[in-house]
């Protein structure tokens, strides 16, 4: 089940301008100026974690609310309860959770699965109550004769000992929201005392002590995690060798870069935040990571790599708040724009569509990329293909040499794109493109619009490759698919559509599978030959 979350009268989102967020297993971007509500929305999951935990398990608090009573919970990180309530009115805070089935869910089960939960948080109190609770077939009014019973390994909601709802899909859908890690915008490993966390991350001396245990403790899993994140940082910054240790006095980190020792303060805040953030998320399990300002202290060429590296440690997805529209558009599988309307009131809406390609390159600060040696622009089909292709380029150490730009999906791969393609050629003469064939059988001709786009590219001198197989996910090996999803999943046949298989995954998860696979597993394919030709 997937969740659509609505918040009313939370901070700068009064019920006249509620915050609406589709919670999906993907990279979600919140973009907007300062004081527009981006950080507030991320902090909701931190501040209301105890409430989310209560409604993601068969807890006494949830049962009391279902029976029509008030349930007490503890705010996290809040000293004044009025902080979290809207200043625009005096009404209670409302949390609406609407669930919808994902592909592969069974209709018979969905009928008795709760699909709407509305919670009121009493103003200026740490008390919640359930206003509405329903399945697709019936509304379940909170009542004293409601209880739940386990059966067949499942939890059922009962009324007068009659099963009226199956709770497990609701609980499992909400559970990742209660297992989040919030990473605030200030990320300094050294200059904060060791007695407190900064939201969900350890900082200062406390972090240094944890890193020492992480590297030298008895847990093989932690030691493997330390190796993985060190390898990630080494690749991102282009080091041949990297070793990260705590100093003898536990006051800083001593970092060996290509055999030369440095104290952390000699290497800059960008590298420091990589170490701090990745070490924190690597030492725990989290459903979603909530990351504020991933662009902080980083050149644009490193921001996407940092973002996907952090996201790889989340089982479900990442929600990030940024000032960079270019980063949001290149990395975000879904994007929300926020703006401040007046004091205490903000507006949130989906950001639809992509700008013209030349404008997009400007948003990405392409001139800065060229200064660092980026020489090519690679056009890919859609938004999810950006992060997928980045992972494939990374396997050939080309992700810091090629800028990946989405064409905007099938609707943009048409005839009549000469003007827009010519614009980006004036910015960068070295343009490449790779698109899906969308073939349903070998040797099938391309659709007319795709063929016209291919001919336009060739007439302009843009090297374009059309995949032999249907789409990029048709190259994923079964081992990588199962490693990311589960043993229940299988690889696609060369011309099989993802949406038609019994147990599909979301295209937004393609990048995770690409990260897991090796190029040897697609050896001999046209995609492998294309990557080797770059």
Q: In whole angstroms, give the CA distance from residue 294 to residue 184.
A: 10
Q: Which pLDDT does position 299 carry in this prediction? A: 80
For the cut 60, the answer to whether the pLDDT of residue 322 exceeds it is yes
* C-alpha closest to that of 133 among 184, 93, 101, 99: 99
SS3 track for 245-305 = EECCCCCCEEEEECCEEEEHHHCCHHHHHHHHHHHHHHCCCEEEEEEECCCCCCCHHHHHH
* C-alpha closest to that of 206 among 255, 268, 276: 276
Q: In whole angstroms, give the CA distance from residue 53 to residue 46.
A: 11
* C-alpha closest to that of 488 among 501, 499, 471: 501
**DSSP summary character for residue 102:** P
Lowest mean pLDDT among 65-74, 260-269, 383-392, 476-485: 260-269
Q: Mind listing the pLDDT tens digit for each residue in 225-283?
A: 888 889 888 888 888 999 998 888 877 888 999 999 988 778 777 787 788 888 888 87
The DSSP element (H or E) to which 61 belongs, if any, is: helix 60-66
161-188 mean pLDDT? 87
What residues form DSSP beta bridges with 243? 256
Buried b (16+ CB within 10 A) or exposed e, 226-259: beebbebbbbbbebeebebebeeeeebbebebee
* Residues in contact with 227: Cβ distance below 8 Å, sequence separation at least 6, in sequence order: none
Q: Mind listing the pLDDT tens digit for each residue in 114-170?
A: 999 999 999 999 999 999 999 988 898 888 889 888 877 788 888 888 888 888 888
Do 62 and 128 meet the contact criterion of CB atoms below 8 Å apart? no
For the cut 70, the answer to whether the pLDDT of residue 195 exceeds it is no
Q: What is the DSSP string of 461-516?
A: T-EEEE-SSSSGGGG--HHHHHHHS-TT--PPPTT--GGGSSS---GGGHHHHHHH
The pair phi, psi for residue 37, each rounded to 5°, is 105, 5
Q: In whole angstroms, give the CA distance from residue 10 to residue 367.
A: 40
For the cut 80, the answer to whether the pLDDT of residue 368 exceeds it is no
Do 278 and 229 meet the contact criterion of CB atoms below 8 Å apart? yes
Q: In whole angstroms, give the CA distance from residue 324 to residue 297.
A: 13
Q: Is the pTM of this model over 0.75?
A: yes
Do 269 and 277 meet the contact criterion of CB atoms below 8 Å apart? no
For the cut 50, the answer to whether the pLDDT of residue 7 exceeds it is yes
For the cut 50, the answer to whether the pLDDT of residue 192 exceeds it is no
507-514 mean pLDDT? 95
Better pLDDT: 169 or 6: 6
339-343 mean pLDDT? 93
Q: What angle do CA 17, 22, 28 make, to 5 degrees?
A: 105
Q: Which pLDDT does position 108 carry in this prediction? A: 46
Q: How confident is the model at residue 487 (pLDDT cuts 50, 70, 90)?
A: very high
Q: Which pLDDT does position 185 carry in this prediction? A: 83
Q: In whole angstroms, give the CA distance from residue 346 to residue 16.
A: 10
For the cut 80, the answer to whether the pLDDT of residue 362 exceeds it is no
Q: How far is CA 189 from CA 33, 254, 289, 419, in A?
A: 26, 12, 19, 48
Lowest mean pLDDT among 187-201, 243-257, 409-423: 187-201
* Annotated domain spans of the chain: 2-179, 202-283, 355-533
What residues form DSSP beta bridges with 345? 342
Give residue 338's Cα distance to chain centre.
18
For the cut 80, the answer to whether the pLDDT of residue 110 exceeds it is no
Q: In whole angstroms, give the CA distance from residue 4 to residue 80.
A: 28
Q: In whole angstroms, give the CA distance from residue 250 to residue 242.
A: 19
Alpha-carbon torsion (475, 447, 404, 375), positive or negative:
positive
């Amino acid at each position: 089940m997937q969740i659509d979350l609505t918040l009313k009268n939370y901070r700068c989102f009064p019920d006249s301008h509620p915050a609406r967020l589709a919670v999906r297993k993907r990279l979600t971007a919140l973009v907007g100026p300062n004081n527009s509500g981006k950080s507030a929305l991320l902090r909701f999951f931190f501040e209301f974690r105890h409430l989310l935990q209560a409604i993601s398990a068969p807890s006494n608090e949830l049962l009391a609310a279902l029976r029509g009573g008030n349930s007490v919970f503890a705010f996290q990180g809040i000293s004044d309860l009025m902080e979290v309530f809207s200043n625009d009115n005096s009404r209670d805070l409302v949390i609406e959770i609407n669930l919808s089935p994902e592909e592969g869910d069974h209709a018979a089960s969905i009928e008795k699965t709760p699909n709407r939960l509305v919670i009121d948080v009493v103003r200026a109190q740490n008390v919640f109550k359930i206003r509405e609770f329903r399945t697709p077939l019936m509304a379940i009014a909170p009542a004293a004769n409601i209880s739940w019973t386990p059966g067949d390994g499942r939890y059922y909601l009962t009324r007068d000992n009659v099963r009226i709802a199956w709770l497990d899909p609701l609980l499992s859908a909400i559970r990742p929201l209660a297992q989040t890690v919030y990473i605030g915008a200030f990320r300094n490993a050294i200059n904060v005392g060791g007695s407190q966390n900064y939201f969900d991350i350890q900082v200062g001396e406390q972090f240094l002590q944890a890193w020492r245990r992480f590297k030298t403790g008895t847990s093989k899993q932690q030691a493997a995690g330390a190796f993985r994140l060190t390898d990630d940082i080494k690749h991102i910054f282009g080091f041949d060798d990297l070793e990260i240790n705590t100093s003898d006095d536990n006051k800083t980190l001593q970092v060996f870069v290509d055999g030369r020792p440095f104290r952390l303060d000699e290497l800059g805040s960008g590298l420091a935040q990589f170490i701090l953030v990745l070490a924190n998320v690597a030492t725990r399990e989290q459903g979603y990571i909530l990351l504020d300002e991933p662009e902080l202290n980083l050149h644009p060429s490193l921001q996407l790599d940092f973002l996907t590296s952090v996201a790889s440690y989340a089982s479900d997805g990442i929600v990030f708040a940024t000032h960079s529209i270019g980063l949001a558009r290149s990395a975000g599988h879904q994007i929300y724009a926020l703006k401040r309307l007046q004091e205490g009131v903000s507006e949130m809406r989906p950001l639809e569509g992509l700008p013209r390609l030349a404008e997009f390159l400007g948003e990405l600060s392409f001139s800065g990329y060229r200064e660092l040696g980026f020489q090519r622009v690679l056009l890919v089909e859609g938004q999810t293909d950006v992060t997928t292709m980045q992972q494939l380029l990374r396997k050939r150490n080309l992700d810091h040499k090629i800028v990946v730009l989405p064409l905007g999906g099938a609707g943009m791969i048409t005839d009549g794109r000469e003007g827009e393609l010519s614009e980006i050629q004036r910015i960068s003469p070295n343009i490449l493109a790779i698109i899906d064939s969308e073939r349903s059988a070998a040797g099938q001709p391309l659709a007319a619009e795709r063929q016209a786009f291919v001919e336009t590219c060739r007439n302009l001198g843009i090297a374009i490759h059309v995949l032999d197989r249907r789409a990029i996910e048709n190259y994923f090996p079964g081992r990588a698919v199962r490693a990311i999803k589960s043993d229940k999943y299988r690889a696609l046949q060369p011309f099989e559509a993802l949406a038609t298989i019994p147990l599909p995954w979301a295209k937004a998860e393609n990048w995770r599978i690409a990260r897991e696979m090796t190029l040897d597993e697609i050896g001999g394919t046209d995609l492998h030959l294309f990557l080797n030709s770059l």
